[in-house]
Amino acid sequence: MSLVVRNLKKSYGDKVVVDNLSFYSSAASDVYKRQLLGTNGAGKTTSIRMMLNMLSRDGGEVLWNGQPLTTEICNVGYLAEERGLYPKYSLMDQLIYFAGLRGVSKSEAKERIRYWAKKLEAEEYLYPNEEPAANLAEKKKARPARKKKVKAKLADQLSKGNQQKIQFMIALISDPELIILDEPLSGLDPVNTDLFKGIIREQIAAGKYLIMSSHQMATVEEFCTDITIMNRSKTVLQGNLNDIKKSYGRVNLHLKTEQEARSIIENSGALILTEKEREYQIKVTGEEQANSLLSGLIQNHITVVTFDLREPSLHEIFVEKVGEEHE
């Protein structure tokens, strides 16, 4: 499998919203995980919609295995940033309908809905009249009571987080080979965030191609091997995340000492970013300056508790690149 996005362009009048976006999957990689990053309005969602032919392009092409990407040649699962369930229709009917659009039969769709409802802990919304398995044994011991049938919930009766679960099911119900997620964790509580992350990991482990747009940098580092940072419609940085971080070098130093060390740090030429109770976050120019600082601390009989030199985080790289563009 291979994905090529080449020179995508989109303008509205004189305003350019996507300017020559290009990236491609690595032929050497069995699993491809690309992250689109950018400021609000950078062009990420517009780029995704052009890739999926939901929005016309002014230029460029998107190829899947050498052919123009369409749903006829590639099974695509898409979770949109804007949640788009029909508010007054039952959740089950909508899931079966969207599965049918992807070529999944009604009987197969019902089996898959059952599977994903359990995975996403959404059974109570889709099967409101079924007792949890844990309660069945107790029910058998007692005299059965007539229970009023509960109507299945409509989409507008769910919280935003639970609506997101249903839309995630829609994205995955056809067992897609290419999964595109636009801000998939937006608005989720910590429990459901972990639930979604677990499912995304499973999809990656199953060999699915993943393209994700997110503002959550820690999530990006957790899942994606390749990144594209966009700002004001242009690509300002892209490539393999590990290679990008290595190119910056190890310039972030976490230092903790038992004695006051501010003057020694400042005399070394290093920059103190934060300081609290003899614990310092420091920016150095590289390993040579860090080693020189360590020597100075030892010579001045400063007891070093922590000396951790690392590469910059994606958050720091993002702020630097986007900041450069805004200057």
pLDDT of residue 306: 96
Alpha-carbon span 243 to 225, nearest angstrom: 10
Q: For the CA atoms of 288, 292, 295, 297, what is the dihedral angle to 10 degrees?
A: -130
Asked if residue 210 belongs to a domain, the reply is yes
Instruction: Kindly state the average pLDDT of the residues 209-216.
Output: 88
Over pLDDT 90: what percentage of the chain?
61
Are residues 240 and 263 located together in one domain of the fold?
Answer: no
Number of domains making up the chain: 2
Per-residue pLDDT tens over the stretch 289-313: 999 999 999 999 999 999 999 998 8
Beta bridge partners of 19: 9
Are residues 219 and 258 located together in one domain of the fold?
Answer: no
Residue listed under structure tokens 């291979």: 2
28: pLDDT confidence band, cut at 50, 70 and 90?
Answer: very low
Alpha-carbon span 130 to 149, nearest angstrom: 10
**Domain range holding 265?**
250-310
Asked if residue 53 belongs to a domain, the reply is yes
> Last residue of some domain: 211, 228, 245?
245
Q: Which residue has the higher pLDDT, 35 or 203?
A: 203
pLDDT of residue 26: 57
Q: Which of 25-29, 82-86, 180-184, 261-265 has the lowest mean pLDDT?
A: 25-29
Are residues 21 and 60 located together in one domain of the fold?
Answer: yes
Per-residue pLDDT tens over the stretch 106-138: 999 999 999 999 999 999 888 887 765 545 555
Are residues 181 and 166 located together in one domain of the fold?
Answer: yes
Are residues 149 and 132 located together in one domain of the fold?
Answer: yes
Are residues 89 and 68 located together in one domain of the fold?
Answer: yes
Contact in structure between 43 and 10 (CB atoms under 8 Å)? yes
Are residues 231 and 277 located together in one domain of the fold?
Answer: no
Per-residue pLDDT tens over the stretch 165-198: 999 999 999 999 999 999 999 889 999 999 999 9
Are residues 104 and 159 located together in one domain of the fold?
Answer: yes
Per-residue pLDDT tens over the stretch 52-74: 999 999 999 999 999 999 989 99
Are residues 14 and 103 located together in one domain of the fold?
Answer: yes
Q: What is the pTM of this model?
A: 0.81
Comparing C-alpha atoms, which of 1, 11, 76, 74 is closest to residue 32? 1
Asked if residue 324 belongs to a domain, the reply is no
Are residues 34 and 74 located together in one domain of the fold?
Answer: yes
Asked if residue 134 belongs to a domain, the reply is yes
CATH number at residue 77: 3.40.50.300
Residue listed under structure tokens 């200057």: 327
